[in-house]
Amino acid sequence: MSTKLDFTIDAEMNSKLSFETPLNDEIGHGIIEKPPGSPNFKSWLKKLSVETSGIERVTDEQRAKNPSKVWNACTFWMSANMAVATLNTGMVGGSMGLAFWDCSAIIIVVNVFSCLLPAWTATFGLTGLRMTTFSRYSFGYWGNLLVVIFSMISTTGWNAINSISGASVLYALSDGKCPHWVGVIIICTTVWIICALGITWIHRLDAFLWIPPFIVWCVAAGTGAKHFSGSAISSPTGVNAAASALSFIAVIFSFAVSWINCAADYNVKMPVNTPRYKIFTATYIGIAVPTILVQTLGAALFSGTEVNPAWKSAYLDAGVGGPLKMALLPAGGFSKFLLVLAGLSSIPNNIPNNYSFAMHAQNFGPWALRVPRIAFVTFGFVAAITVGCCAAAFFEDTLQTFLSIIGYWTIVHLVVIIEEHIIFRRSRWSNYDWNAWASWELLPFGWGAIASFAFGFLGAALGMKVRWYTGPIAGLIGRGANVGHELTFGFAGLAFPVFRWVEKRWTGK
């Protein structure tokens, strides 16, 4: 039996918002607030296909009016991963002392399996909820604030890292006349404009934005091939080889799974009857294919820096933009245009971060729902520029450390969601009350997830290996191996079912 409850919410500035929401007698009530705005202004924005909504659940009726297409899930991620930051990540293995063929094997094998994870979470968009809102059902209403905070940190960090990668290309192109901070501002500002327009414009643009960088990588592979060398670096042997390999595996894994906390956000307008396997397949192809190809090219470019002094000098001066510029030199004047395209590939790479930053922030509580989405998009834009300009001076250390740490928390996020879904919801979507997404009274507090988070980070602290810290267990393997992900998975995976069971017995939720 259903009923309708009218909620009248006193807002600031002496305004009122009044609305209705259908609820179920058996489950209580929730609070759903609409963002403010003039009806006439919103009507004008709607005509321009500018997004005015926030994290409110997209209903079946709304999806029927303005649906996304399955192929959008593929082209969106193709554009996001066909980027210079992906190229940069592939170069990390060489800097760790691994030979090209070892790097290539790790890149292929790890991505083939790890890209399955964001592809799976992308299907959660069919619930009509963004990922950090869906997490409330497993992390609890208040425990989910951990997800919100870490998601905002990770998206800001990725915004900065991706912008620095693109800025390094523009720096190399201009022979140092375009400082890194200028490149960061150019890239972040363009991303801000696109994200302000919203999801419809994002899908329209991303249908094509993967093509220019794809052309760049194809040309660079051809013109730079004679400088690539599979024997330029000799991988270490014995326990040190295991240490380097495990650390690079952690970097590649972290890059792939970093999309987990926002993958569902771009499928909330898919028709509710869309087969999950189609979204999964489209997303998997969109993430795995460009990631494997571009990271492998990055490993090849780094091998060129070890056999060609000019490439090495360019790399030390400009980062990833240096060897990329050297590889494209045989293209003559056309190479400058290609470098511009390569630098600007950071724009679609950053769209998921800036757009989802706003969606994460609106999960702070009812007050955050009253803040227009564009305000949070702007805040994320300012934060990314600030962090990007500061981190550019220590980029290599920043990249490796950030990728590792983000991977740790993402594992906890994934473990809690999976175990809640399989163990406590019995893998049945019907066991979720979608009307409860905004109600702290109907959702668990999140003690089980909080405990899992704490135990997971204990595992990370024992097994992490970054430039400034080596965990006690990580230090037992050669010169130090990053096994933080494995320990995080084990600690969090064992802790959550125990503490979640206790929470359910204690609170009934």
Residues, the chain? 509
Q: How confident is the model at residue 450 (pLDDT cuts 50, 70, 90)?
A: very high
What pLDDT, on the 0 to 100 scale, is given for residue 430? 87
Percentage of residues in the chain having pLDDT higher than 70:
87
198-212: average pLDDT = 92
Helix (H) or strand (E) holding 311: helix 309-318
Secondary structure class of 247 (helix, strand, coil): helix
CA atoms 230, 234, 237, 242: torsion sign: negative
Domains along the chain?
Answer: 2-507 (1.10.4160.10)
Residues 434-458: what's their mean pLDDT?
A: 92
Tens of pLDDT, residue by residue over 396-431, are 555 556 666 777 888 999 999 999 999 999 888 889
Provide CB contacts within 8 A for 477, sequence distance 6+.
Answer: 239, 242, 243, 246, 483
What pLDDT does residue 401 have?
Answer: 67
Token representation of residue 124: 């959660």
Which has more confidence, 120 or 24?
A: 120
- Considering only CA atoms, give the Rg of the chain: 23
| Global pTM value | 0.86
- Which helix (H) or strand (E) segment holds residue 23: the answer is strand 16-24
Which residues have C-beta within 8 Å of that of residue 491, sequence separation ≥ 6? Answer: 455, 456, 458, 459
Most confident of 4-13, 24-33, 472-481: 472-481
DSSP 422: I
Q: How far apart are CA 465 and CA 2, in angstroms?
A: 54
The crossing angle, in degrees rounded to 10, of helices 373-391 and 180-197 is: 160
- CB < 8 Å & 24+ apart, contacts of 62-65: 62/269, 63/128, 63/268, 63/269, 63/270, 63/271, 63/272, 64/271
Give the confidence band of 7 by pLDDT, cuts at 50, 70, 90.
very low
Non-local CB neighbours of 118 within 8 Å, separated by 6+ positions: 256, 257, 259, 260, 263, 283, 287
Which burial class, exposed, middle or buried, applies to 490 when counting CB atoms under 10 A from its CB (0-12, 13-18, 19+)? middle
Q: How confident is the model at residue 47 (pLDDT cuts 50, 70, 90)?
A: low
* Residue 268 predicted with pLDDT over 50: yes
What is the pLDDT, as a whole number, of residue 321?
A: 92
- The answer to whether 36 touches 17, Cβ cutoff 8 Å, is yes
**Nearest of 164, 165, 157 to residue 84 by alpha carbon:** 165
- Split at pLDDT 50, 70, 90, the class of 132 is very high
How does residue 18 score in pLDDT terms, banded at 50, 70 and 90?
very low
